[in-house]
């Protein structure tokens, strides 16, 4: 991969099932970004181990995520789409970077505090050092840009701090990445509690739209979406979070702006609006679902994509890792 274009790196954890927030907030934007950047996208299965996983379900979910990446339009010949755990340089660089990261920095991470409360029975060292592995993910590929939600920006900031600290000692080893935050669709909220993000682990089955939900399920969930006691479709996230969330979703899948959406549903009430959003989402997901079904039958093709892309990722990652190992004084391997 020649560095004619800038390099963009991102990934998703391989747990649960891809939902509408993942798709509209990240994956849909990734497809568009592949024209502008050399893109590297990981199935972040090592990160998923901070929470106990059922091994069989975990493997199945990781394969499903890979297939959905491709079904959604991430061309594995144009982008590098790979499994994090298949490139051992991630774990190797993470250990070295641990030695350049301070306890106080990690202790201030908001996600660590939140997850420690949520999984109080399993506050493990991996949860604490999670941002260092994330830094290794990004820095291995000399990424210029990292598309993240606003809640993940802190992880890119600590990555930058670690990289600048290392470069300050050893010279320009790492590219200093910039966070790339999409202007629209960056944050899709729960249909049941629009004050919080849509989540694959939400206990309320009506809160989350999954990428593989059928049309009837999608329409049912949108009909039950929480709105408010008014009747006007107006974008006002502070006072009308439920309606504003539905407008954001509708805008993402139709391309219409908020003013047009308000005009379209003027005087119609929430019932018609919810059905229209559900129909638009189902129609938008239908070709992805069709392609996903086709790809699940093309096992040899998906496996060849995995093998080729793992090799491409490993080549790039190992180039950086060898440079880092040499800089810190580790004995070179005899090849």
Q: Which residues are catalytic?
A: 115, 197, 200
DSSP bridge partners of 8: 39, 145
> Rounded to an integer, what distance in angstroms lies between the CA atom of residue 135 and that of residue 131?
6
Dihedral sign from CA coordinates of 106, 159, 123, 25:
positive
Helix-helix angle 299-328:269-296, to 10 degrees:
90
Contacts of 168 (CB under 8 A, 6+ apart): none
Q: How far apart are the first and last CA of the chain?
A: 24
| Sheet with 38-44, edge to edge strand ranges | 80-83, 38-44, 7-13, 145-147, 178-180
In this structure, the chain runs to a length of 335
CA-based torsion, 68, 71, 72, 73: positive or negative: positive
- Per the CB < 8 A criterion, the answer to whether 73 and 31 are in contact is yes
User: Do 147 and 182 form a contact (C-beta atoms < 8 A)?
Assistant: yes
160/173 Cα distance (integer angstroms): 12
């Amino acid at each position: 991969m020649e560095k004619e274009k800038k390099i963009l790196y991102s990934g998703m954890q391989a747990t649960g099932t891809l939902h509408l927030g993942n798709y509209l907030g990240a994956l849909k934007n990734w497809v568009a970004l592949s024209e502008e950047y050399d893109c590297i996208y990981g199935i972040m299965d090592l990160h998923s181990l901070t929470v106990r996983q059922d091994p069989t379900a975990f493997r199945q979910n990781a394969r499903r995520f890979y297939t959905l990446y491709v079904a959604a339009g991430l061309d594995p010949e144009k982008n590098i789409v790979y499994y994090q755990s298949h490139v051992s340089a991630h774990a190797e660089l993470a250990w070295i970077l641990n030695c350049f990261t301070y306890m106080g920095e990690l202790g201030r991470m908001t996600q660590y505090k939140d997850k420690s409360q949520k999984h109080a029975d399993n506050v493990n060292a991996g949860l604490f050092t999670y941002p260092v592995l994330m830094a290794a993910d990004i820095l291995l590929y000399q990424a210029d840009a990292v598309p993240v939600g606003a809640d993940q920006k802190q992880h890119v900031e600590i990555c930058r701090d670690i990289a600048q600290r290392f470069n300050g000692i050893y010279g320009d080893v790492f590219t200093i990445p910039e966070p790339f935050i999409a202007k629209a669709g960056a944050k899709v909220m729960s249909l049941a509690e629009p004050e919080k993000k849509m989540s694959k682990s939400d206990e309320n089955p009506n809160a989350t739209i999954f990428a593989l939900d059928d049309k009837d399920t999608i329409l049912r969930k949108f009909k039950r979406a929480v709105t408010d006691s008014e009747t006007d479709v107006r974008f006002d996230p502070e006072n009308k979070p439920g309606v504003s969330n539905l407008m954001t979703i509708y805008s993402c899948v139709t391309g219409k702006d908020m003013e047009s959406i308000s005009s379209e549903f003027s005087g119609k009430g929430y019932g018609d609006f919810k059905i229209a959003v559900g129909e638009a989402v189902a129609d938008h997901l239908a070709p992805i679902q069709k392609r996903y079904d086709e790809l699940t039958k093309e096992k040899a093709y998906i496996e060849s994509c995995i093998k080729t892309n793992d090799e491409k990722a490993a080549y790039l990652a190992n180039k950086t890792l060898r440079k880092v190992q040499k800089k810190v004084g580790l004995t070179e391997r005899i090849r």
